[in-house]
Structure 1
């Protein structure tokens, strides 16, 4: 993952495994090396920023990389069924969902539509925990809480980490430079 991101940052991506042969190879199954929970922000295309190809990443996305039942089910599928040894939770700077969680307390804040408000409510604990209105500080607190929520809410994920068959990395993507910086690591990523 780090090497692919370095190629992307330097402007020399290889665009690996994106051909007819790879597509044919994957037609009857998949075995991705990484499951990725990321923000649905259009500037955060995981296969591009990590210079990966078809079948390399099992990607789950929603605004603000919030843990939900469908996210947990998808990640448990990746770990239990596909044998994926690494989950990356990918946050980023200038996240609109994080900013919305901060702005909801502003005196002039407009009410959010119900589904957006419910979704943003899951980021609000990071605002309270951080004691800040700085989006980067809140974003890091939310990333840490997201990684912790995966472990606390999923016995399967927690057991796999304890067994040494899974690691979870929380990382931040820097939009301007294109670099991914790991911030939280649970389990062993040595391999």
Structure 2
């Protein structure tokens, strides 16, 4: 797959940024990434005490591929027999008071129509470790949450879940095509989607749909590259990262990579 994250024309189009500040931010990110790589082995030694405090439950025994198969099976259940997607909340709530051991981490959109536990088959409390924000982007808090799920809670699978008709992606497309000024924090919020929007301009097919796919792919790649913790776990075969798109029309989750 091609992850050309920084096309030559990206920064000239992004509204309201100072070029020097962007370069400074990139330099800081590179420095921090290098620092993380250098201290990863030492830092991970401290995870055991954090994990003991976080949960008295043993991590899931599922492999990354088994976790992915379980999500696919759950989505098929949601599509074909949604009446069976019911959780026994009372029993599970009591069982989880001592901790958690989720078997998958899902980075999804805040869109109220995209409920990860539901679309993966009516999953119960304690099964998914979920991060949600508009546009399913990997900001600082989300990256830390994903690392915590993988390294501390033992979640073997990370899914970046985009969806059809995403409002955040539509907003980024407006900025990329028309230079639209977005109010408040909405403008900065969609900045991370802009490189995908710029890369997809003029491509065959629906512009917004193309950007939804491209942005999810780039976010999955970013997690694998910028998190030294996740990268190490992927290299050891303990964690797998995939991206997927949810159809609002059919309820189907398409896993793409």
TM-score relative to the length of structure 2: 0.68
1:148 aligns with 2:148: no
1:116 aligns with 2:189: no
Deviation at 1:169, TM superposition (A): 1.1
Unpaired runs of 5+ in structure 2?
1-70
Question: 2:107·2:158 contact (CA, 8 Å) conserved in 1?
Answer: yes
Instruction: Give the SS at the match of 1:104.
Output: helix
Deviation at 1:151, TM superposition (A): 1.0
Question: 1:2·1:50 contact (CA, 8 Å) conserved in 2?
Answer: yes
Deviation at 1:119, TM superposition (A): 0.9
1:86 aligns with 2:178: no
1:134 aligns with 2:204: no
Distance in 2, Cα, partners of 1:19 & 1:88: 24
Instruction: Give the SS at the match of 1:121.
Output: helix
Task: Give the match for residue 144 of structure 2.
Answer: 73
Deviation at 1:13, TM superposition (A): 4.5
Task: Give the match for residue 9 of structure 1.
Answer: 79
More helix by share: 2
| Greater CA drift, 65-74 or 133-142 | 133-142
Deviation at 1:130, TM superposition (A): 2.0
Which of 175, 186, 191 is equivalent to 1:104?
175
Task: Give the match for residue 47 of structure 1.
Answer: 117
Unpaired runs of 5+ in structure 1?
185-191
Distance in 1, Cα, partners of 2:237 & 2:213: 25
Which of 220, 230, 239 is equivalent to 1:166?
239
Distance in 1, Cα, partners of 2:177 & 2:197: 13
Question: 2:201·2:207 contact (CA, 8 Å) conserved in 1?
Answer: no
Distance in 1, Cα, partners of 2:108 & 2:155: 16
Kindly tell me the number of residue pairs found equivalent between the two proteins.
Answer: 183
Question: 1:15·1:53 contact (CA, 8 Å) conserved in 2?
Answer: no
Render the CA deviation track for 1:84-107: whole Å, top value 9, x for unaligned: 000111000100111100111454
TM-score relative to the length of structure 1: 0.91
Question: 2:162·2:245 contact (CA, 8 Å) conserved in 1?
Answer: yes
Question: 1:37·1:59 contact (CA, 8 Å) conserved in 2?
Answer: yes
Deviation at 1:139, TM superposition (A): 1.0
Instruction: Give the SS at the match of 1:74.
Output: helix
Over 3 Å counting, the alpha-carbon distance change for 1:150 and 1:13 in structure 2 is: farther
| RMSD between aligned residues | 1.5
Task: Give the match for residue 189 of structure 1.
Answer: none
More strand by share: 1
